[in-house]
Amino acid sequence: MVLVDGVMRIATIANKVRQGGRVDRDEALELYAHAPTALLGELADGIRARRHPERIVTYIIDRNVNYTNVCVARCNFCAFYRPVGSAEGYVLGFEEIFRKIDETIELGGGQLLLQGGHNPDLPLEWYEDLFRSVKERYPQFRLHALSPPEVIHLTRMSRLTVPQVIERLIAAGLDSIPGGGAEILVDRVRRILNCYGKATADEWLGVMREAHRAGLRTTATMMYGHVETVEDRLEHMFRLRDLQDESMGSPAVTATQGFAAKAGFTAFITWSYQPEHTELGGFEATGIEYLRTLAVARIVLDNFDNLQASWVTQGGKVGQLSLAYGANDMGSVMIEENVVRAAGAAYCMDEIEIVRNVENAGFTAKRRNMHYEILGDPIFRERDVPRMLELAVARGDGDTSRPAELKNYAARSAAEKRLRQNPQM
């Protein structure tokens, strides 16, 4: 009898979803915990089809550049960071970043996803100078940069408020904010992951709220499969849904940047925790768990236009399957990746491979910008672009060079102060 009740409950919730109804937390938990995976896929695919009836799957050509790996936050799930003073720590120079932009443009890209560690020796002025110099050289190039914890880090370094830091970054050339550093937006979980100090759940959401108020579009992410419960994942999704409701009701106008006047999050991206080389250790969530999580996110986040497939962590084959579980975007033709690779995942797909997977799944592949506006057909069908069979890294092995311009900025750590005062370095 209990089993029959459960089946009936799931059937009732499924019908509500099919009719475009909004699920509450109990209904979402019922689906996540008990609905068959095929049913979750059917419901999520139905929502994807209603939002994107033209069967277009988008992707962006951009480069994921990590400007520094020096970080004081020390999240225990992170295999990328190096502590202050480490011989393996690096900061990219402006010229190195320009070279990466040149290579990105050659491959048809028009944007950097620029994120890095919380380096105490890079003041706000360094970011402003970098952004300005990128925009002077490449006026059309877009900067999707600095996740909310990096913005919080800059408020602490500069003693300015979040709106003030965002305003200065926009004035320097910031175009949008990536949703990194969200992990799970539940403070109990964040304390266990040692990422509560870098940004609480409210602080992460607060940066996004202010970014939306300032007229920026942003993305939202979720890293699951470590110490959280299914209820925590749903709490994360519902907090994002609430903020999206709030931001979509706000009069944010992005027309000044030449984009359509829409507000809030453009997309949601979820991926599983990658355990290799991390202090936290453990196992990676399975492919089925990924697909169930993606489908539930598509059902809960009914005010998000786009869900990305995370082929970078799940591989091309599960990435392709994501298109039947609610995803309508293949994310980035990632030219460079350092963070996920440090934790053991090293999947690579260039534009040809992404398009092959999209078309084989029965969709039309289109290039987009970070606002999910269609730019055109695959670039390799318009002109010759080099094939990219492995991802680039931030720096070549053994390259310990120090950018000359660092001397122009005030350091905070004793080790870095000594280096910047030494005329030989």
Residue 82 touches ligand SF4, criterion: CB under 6 A: no
Q: For residue 113, give the H/E element and its range.
A: strand 111-115
Does the footprint of ligand SF4 cover residue 178 (CB under 6 A)?
Answer: no
Nearer to ligand SF4, 28 or 340 (CB): 340
Quick one: which segment of 78-86, 280-288, 329-337, 341-349 binds ligand SF4 (CB under 6 A)?
Answer: 78-86
Residue 117 is a binding residue for ligand SF4 (CB under 6 A): yes
Q: Which residues pair with 177 in a beta bridge?
A: 218
Q: How many residues contact ligand SF4, by CB under 6 A?
A: 12
Is 349 one of the binding residues for ligand SF4 (CB under 6 A)? Answer: no
The DSSP code sequence of 362-378 is T-EEEEE-TT--EEES-
Residue nearer to ligand SF4 on the CB measure, 107 or 182: 182
- 264 touches ligand SF4 by CB under 6 A: no
**Binding of residue 73 to ligand SF4 (CB under 6 A):** yes
> Per-residue x/- mask for ligand SF4, residues 181 to 200, rule CB under 6 A?
--------------x--x--
Which residues, 6 or more positions from 26, have their beta carbon under 8 angstroms from its beta carbon? none
Pick 351 or 416: Cβ nearer ligand SF4 = 416
Q: For residue 34, which amino acid is it?
A: H
Does position 71 bind ligand SF4 by CB under 6 A?
Answer: yes
Distance, in Å, from the CA atom of 214 to the CA atom of 211, rounded to the nearest integer, reads 5
CA-based nearest residue to 110, from 394, 369, 380: 369
In the complex, what is the shortest distance from the CB of residue 27 to ligand SF4, in angstroms, rounded to a whole number?
33
Residue 193's identity, in one-letter code, is L
75 binds ligand SF4 (CB under 6 A): yes
Please tell me whether residue 74 binds ligand SF4 under the rule CB under 6 A.
Answer: yes
- Indicate the angle between helix axes 230-248 and 287-300, nearest 10 degrees: 30
E strand or H helix at 190: helix 187-192
Token pair belonging to 413: 């750590």
- Contact status: 84 vs ligand SF4 (CB under 6 A): no
Q: Find the shortest distance in angstroms from Cβ 76 to ligand SF4.
A: 8
DSSP 8-state code for residue 65: E
First to last CA, the chain: 76
Does residue number 81 form part of the binding site for ligand SF4 (CB under 6 A)? Answer: yes
Interface with ligand SF4, residue 67, by CB under 6 A: no
Number of C-beta neighbours around residue 422 at 10 A = 9
Q: Which of 60, 78, 263, 285 binds ligand SF4 (CB under 6 A)?
A: 78
The C-alpha atoms of residue 355 and residue 333 are separated, in whole angstroms, by 10
d(CA 44, CA 423): 60
Residue pointed to by tokens 């890079």: 122
Q: Does 223 bind ligand SF4 (CB under 6 A)?
A: no
**Choice between 224 and 363, CB closer to ligand SF4:** 224
420 scored as a contact of ligand SF4 (CB under 6 A): no
Does 41 engage in binding with ligand SF4 (CB under 6 A)? Answer: no
Comparison of 74 and 402: residue with beta carbon closer to ligand SF4: 74
CB of 117 to ligand SF4, least distance (A): 4
Measuring CA to CA, how many Å separate 21 from each of 12, 16, 39, 301, 326?
Answer: 11, 5, 16, 12, 16
**Residue 343 binds ligand SF4 (CB under 6 A):** no
307 burial via Cβ count (<10 Å: 0-12, 13-18, 19+): buried
Q: Of the listed pieces 1-9, 74-82, 184-192, 292-300, which binds ligand SF4 according to CB under 6 A?
A: 74-82
Q: Which of 67, 80, 127, 363 binds ligand SF4 (CB under 6 A)?
A: 80
Quote the least distance from Cβ 304 to ligand SF4, whole Å: 24
Q: Which two tokens stand for residue 269?
A: 């991206």
145 binds ligand SF4 (CB under 6 A): no
Separation of alpha carbons 37 and 14, rounded Å: 12
Number of neighbouring beta carbons within 10 Å of residue 283: 10
Is 149 a residue that touches ligand SF4 (CB under 6 A)?
yes
Chain positions contacting ligand SF4, by CB under 6 A: 71, 73-75, 78, 80-81, 117-118, 149, 195, 198
